[in-house]
Amino acid sequence: MKFYVVTGSTLGTSEAAGETLVEELSQPATLLHSPNLGQIADATHLVFICSTHGAGEFPDTFLPLAQEIASSENPFPSLSKLLLIGIGSSDYDTYNGAIKELAKILASKGLEPVVEPILIDVTESFEPDLTAASLFKAHEDEFFA
Ligand SMILES: Cc1cc2nc3c(=O)[nH]c(=O)nc-3n(C[C@H](O)[C@H](O)[C@H](O)COP(=O)(O)O)c2cc1C
């Protein structure tokens, strides 16, 4: 199993969520903040945790990865399980726009997550890292099945 937890973050919230998630996982995962595609292309299990900035945009550091995935014909040839977690604020019209865009890009490559993208609203969740970990755990059996 090649299991990566990949974060895209501007201010650190998604990074912290990745760190908390990896600590609580039942299986060992490699945590990477805004890697390039080459670092994760062999993934069999992949969790993306990505927040939204600008007006519904990817964090600046994550954008190159999103573009690499978009321009690759078959970005994750060995992928068996995918899960997407977005962290955003419902104060914005473009609520969680980044993870929704990533879901579209991945779907265009035939890659569907085990469940609909999990959206965390920082206006409701005051500890988004713990929320991300507990929501992942709710789908853990399916993810590792
Ligand atoms: C300048 C700015 C723009 C933002 N734009 C959006 C947005 O378009 N959609 C959204 O859901 N959240 C938006 N947010 C909220 C962030 O996604 C939220 O604060 C998140 O916790 C930041 O995660 P990070 O610390 O990993 O960067 C914005 C926040 C800032 C500061």
Q: Which CATH architecture has domain 3-144?
A: 3-Layer(aba) Sandwich (3.40)
* Ligand 1 centroid from CA 51, angstroms: 6
* Contact predicate 138/22, CB 8 Å: no
Percent over 70 (pLDDT), the chain: 100
pLDDT of 26 higher than 90: no
Mean pLDDT of 48-77: 97
pLDDT band at residue 144 under the 50/70/90 scheme: very high
Q: What is the CA radius of gyration of the chain?
A: 14
Mean pLDDT of 97-107: 98
Residue nearest to atom 17 of ligand 1 (CA): 88
* Ligand 1 centroid from CA 9, angstroms: 9
pLDDT score of 59: 98
Percent over 90 (pLDDT), the chain: 99
Q: Ligand 1 pocket: which of 92, 127, 131 to mutate (most atoms <8 Å of CB)?
A: 92
pLDDT of 5 higher than 90: yes
